Amino acid sequence: MRTRRVLLVDSVIWPPGLEPDPRRDVCGWFSRWTPKSMPVEWHRVGVESDINAFRSPAEWDGVILSGSPRDAWNDDQVNFQLGEWILRCRDAGVPVLGVCYGHQLIARVLGGKVAPHPQGLELGNTPVTLTPAGRISKLFEGMPDAFDVLSSHSDEVSDLPSGVTTTVAGTFALIQGIQDSKQLLHGVQFHPETDPETLRLIWNPRREMWRPRVRFNLDEVLDSLKPTPWGHQILHNFLHHFVQG
């Protein structure tokens, strides 16, 4: 079996002054869910790297865009360049999976609307439901119609153009998953790559800053996080059906 080359665009921004910690390996958060029978060569590029570092889409068998504190609705050069590169991947037939910020950026570049959520932050265990399009998508093969995920976002995709389909629905952020008409660009608002320990690792240095900003008990939500094993199936399916397939 040919080894597949997968690019992870790492958009995570860590607060300054943190001690080194091997658990902050963003590429590792995704690569650990690789099917054991599938040979994959993972590559990581920081989102703010020169766009040439992303190389030609034709060099990759699949691309994953990570989550980020960055705002996909912001008119900055990074968003413009990465958005154009996403379209180049689609035109080259390269499958892309966007997570959280990546999901929002895919929606924006396809003509959707991304904006801050009027109710602010969605954090922690979140129930979501597959739409009719999601139930027949290979990205969610073998998954139940309703399942629990881990969320961490304050922006949302609030509107989609024709040709882009909602695959997962929620009650806080209504559009929790999308796919384009070619089924090459996929996005999920939640974090299938993470687990309670990793989400707490991300949030521990941010707790003090965010406590006064939210309408719920931030510490209680973070300290009571529960595993969400169905999320990992999404990564398995993306690699198995879209990258390998």
Q: Catalytic positions, please? A: 100, 191, 193
Do residues 67 and 152 lie in contact, with contact meaning Cβ atoms separated by under 8 Å? yes
Angle at the Cα of 206 (from 202 to 210), degrees rounded to 5?
Answer: 130
Closest by Cα among 230, 64, 236, 42 to 139: 236
DSSP helix/strand/coil, 234: helix
28 to each of 34, 151, 164, 208, 240, how far by Cα in Å? 10, 19, 30, 27, 18
User: SS3 sequence, 84-98?
Assistant: HHHHHHHHCCCCEEE
